[in-house]
Each structure stands twice: as C-alpha cells, then as structure tokens.
Amino acid sequence: MNISTVKKILAAGAVLVFSAALLTGCGGDSASSGDKKFLNIGTGGTAGTYYPIGGAIAEVLNKDIPGMNASAQSTGASVANINMLRDGAVDLATVQNDITYYAVNGTEMFKDKKVDGLQGIASLYPETCQFVTLQSSGIKSLSELKGKRVAVGAAGSGVEANVRQILAAYGVSYDDIDAQFLSFAEGASALKDGNVDVAVLTAGYPTASVQDIASQNPVRLLPVEEKIADGLIAHYPFYTKTVIPAGTYAGFDEAVPSVSVMAMLVAGPSVNADLGYSITKAIFSNLDRLQAAHAVGKQITKDTAKAGMSLPMNAGAEKYFNEK
C-alpha cells in the first residue's frame, strides 16, 4: 500500500469520526435510534408535588420511548433545578414559570447570571401562593402581618420572591415583619410548634404539608384580594388569579382568592427537537398516569400547555402542540 492510499484511508476515517461526533452533538443519541438514552429529571422535595409528578413522567418516558432510561431525583426545586439544567446535571426539570422568567432575563436571584439554552416543554399546572396560619392566631388578612413572625421561604428561593412581591403589594416589607428564611417543611414545623405565625409556600393544592398541619390544628388560608392581584399581575405578568376551593383543607370551608405561577417542564440543551417531541407526546398520551400520581395531575391538559410559557419552546414540543 503506497503513502497516497494510506493518506486517503486516514482522511476518510477522520470524516467518519467527525460525522459521528457531529451527530452526537446534535442529539444523535436520541432514544428512537435504539441506543440507551439516560435522562435525569430534577424535581423537588419528596413531600411536595414535583417529586411524584416527576416520577410519573419518568415512568411514562421509559414505557413509551424505546431505549429510554429516565429517572426522577429529589432536588431543591425550582432555583436549584435551573442551576442543574445550566450545569448539565439534569436534562429535564420542573420549574416555576416565574423562576424561568428570572433565569432567562437575568433578574432576581439570577441578576447578572442570565442562563442560556433553556427550552420550554410544557406548562403543567398552577402553583398557588398559599399563606397559611392557624385559625387560633386570629390573623385574617395579609395587611395584618406587620410585627408577625412569617416563614417566607428559603433565602433566594422562588417562594421568597413571591412573598416579597405579594407583601409589597399590601405595603408590607421585610422591615415590617419578623421574616424567617425557612423552607416550607421547616416553616410548617415551626407553625405547628407555635414558633411562627404564618408559613408560606407556592405549590399545587392540596399540599401534603398543609394537609398534615390541618389534621392537627385548624388552619386558615389568607386571601390575595382581586384588586391587589390585578396590580400584582400588571407588574409581574407571570402571575395568574386563582381561587382555592372551599374544603381544600380539612376544617376550613371558605373559598380563598390568591395568585398562582405555573409549574413547567423545562429542558436543557441536551434535549434536541426529536427527543423533545417524543417526550411531549409520551407525557400527553399518558395523562392518566400523572393524574394517578398526584391530585394536581388533573390540572395538566394539552389546552393549557402553553399558558404562562416564559421562555422559548423546544422545537419538537412546539411541533407536537401545533399538530391537529
């Protein structure tokens, strides 16, 4: 074999290697190719709504997409999930649409730390801002919180941003309250023990942690009145008005107006259009499984899948929703 022939063989091999690498970089490892596709899904704490919904999503992806090996992992929820998507630690994650808005625009906890490469798969269900107190506290309005001990969420969390924005609409700042930066699990425990007057969470209702409190002590949900909600939405367009139905929690039989953000399924750069289409089709072809996983699953519909979408959508997901 002469030198010219060897050079030609080496050149051809280099082209093949480059082509294979290019395909892989463009998502050529899609599960539909028959290769094993490992997909990590960031959720939230095990006591919340993200974890069971994420587990159900992993289950339907494994069932419907050939070669898929998806797994849901418990995480620190929305803000942590954005950081994990950015770092490639997870491929999909459940995230509040307000947190996604902050991330793609570089505001709030992502100020000067704008995150690129995020893609929307679908809006899932509303996550309602719930201000929870014990009926024995006598507190009936958010305007009464001055001087009160309030568990406002973990420092820098999405819940904490919601609390700050909503209280500001009532003319209440952290200078006016005894703000305690506790996760909702910590805040719920403190509320039960009488160490805070109000605990706040942003989650789909009914929420297990609130149900647990209500089973031991009568609770009251504090309303976000419509006029306040309208002003809030004008300032922060990712909010929507919500009414928490009477009887959502045992012993509290009043319907309560509030505001919600949307829980979304967000993909990182590793999810290409083909895989995004397969993921979206699998989820919305198996909504019964998500409904069985948690009560909020009943609120996940194809009709509302673009509601509150606060970032560019994955091209494959958009293709699925545009199909008749």
What proportion of the chain, given as a percentage, has pLDDT over 70? 89
pLDDT, tens only, 268-321:
999 999 999 999 999 999 999 999 999 889 999 999 999 888 899 999 999 999
CA distances from 200 to 103, 135, 151, 173, 195 (A): 22, 15, 6, 15, 14
Query: Which residue, chain included where needed, has tokens 């973990």?
Result: 154
Do the domain assignments include residue 18? no
| Mean pLDDT across 9-13 | 44
Task: Give the confidence band of 15 by pLDDT, cuts at 50, 70, 90.
Answer: very low
**Do the Cβ atoms of 310 and 108 come closer than 8 Å?**
no
CATH label of the domain that carries residue 137: 3.40.190.10
Q: Are both 58 and 176 inside the same structural domain?
A: no
pLDDT, tens only, 229-246:
999 988 888 888 889 999
Do the domain assignments include residue 11? no
pLDDT of 29 strictly over 80: no
- The beta-carbon contacts of 71-74 under 8 Å, at least 24 apart in sequence, are 71/38, 71/39, 71/40, 71/41, 72/41, 72/43, 73/40, 73/41, 73/42, 73/43, 74/43, 74/44, 74/45, 74/46
The pLDDT value given to residue 313: 96
Q: Are both 131 and 234 inside the same structural domain?
A: yes
Q: Are both 155 and 258 inside the same structural domain?
A: yes
Q: Are both 164 and 208 inside the same structural domain?
A: yes
The pLDDT value given to residue 183: 87
**228, 245, 262 — which closes off a domain?**
262
* Structural tokens at position 162: 């919601």
**262, 277, 307 — which closes off a domain?**
262
Q: Are both 118 and 133 inside the same structural domain?
A: no
Query: Which residue, chain included where needed, has tokens 């849901």?
Result: 72
The pLDDT value given to residue 48: 79
pLDDT, tens only, 93-134:
999 999 999 999 999 889 999 999 999 999 999 989 999 999
**Do the Cβ atoms of 239 and 161 come closer than 8 Å?**
no
**Entry pTM:** 0.74
| Mean pLDDT across 74-84 | 91
Domain housing 56: 34-126+263-317
Q: Are both 158 and 202 inside the same structural domain?
A: yes
Q: Are both 221 and 255 inside the same structural domain?
A: yes
Do the domain assignments include residue 182? yes
Q: Are both 257 and 275 inside the same structural domain?
A: no
Q: Are both 216 and 89 inside the same structural domain?
A: no
pLDDT of 158 strictly over 90: no
| Mean pLDDT across 162-180 | 96
Do the domain assignments include residue 14? no
Q: Are both 275 and 230 inside the same structural domain?
A: no
pLDDT, tens only, 126-155:
989 999 999 999 999 999 999 999 999 988
Q: Are both 249 and 137 inside the same structural domain?
A: yes
Q: How many domains does the chain have?
A: 2
Q: Are both 133 and 49 inside the same structural domain?
A: no
What proportion of the chain, given as a percentage, has pLDDT over 90? 72
- Work out the angle at residue 316's Cα, subtended by the Cα atoms of residues 202 and 65, and round it to the nearest 5 degrees: 85
